[in-house]
Structure 1
């Protein structure tokens, strides 16, 4: 068996759908993280007594 054929058997290449799902899952995790971060910043500003802006940039 050639080296290229052996490599293709040992390392499965993701399909286009699997790649898209992977990107969507990563984007979802980033969105959740940023949302939680923004909520935490807004809560901490309320505790301190500052006005929390509508758009908190990370």
Structure 2
């Protein structure tokens, strides 16, 4: 197993410097919306999030 696939590394990528998770799951009607941090936009410097409804 490479370092990039370890649970500790994935947790590191999914948290901020304060240790809080960067994402959310919320109920939208009869489905769930999942939002996860995907990095910082290199041009604008704003946080980017991936959003999926399941």
User: Does the alignment reach a TM-score above 0.5?
Assistant: no
TM-score range, shorter chain: under 0.3
Greater strand share, structure number: 2
Greater C-alpha Rg: 1
Greater helix share, structure number: 1
Q: What TM-score do the two structures reach when normalised by structure 1?
A: 0.22
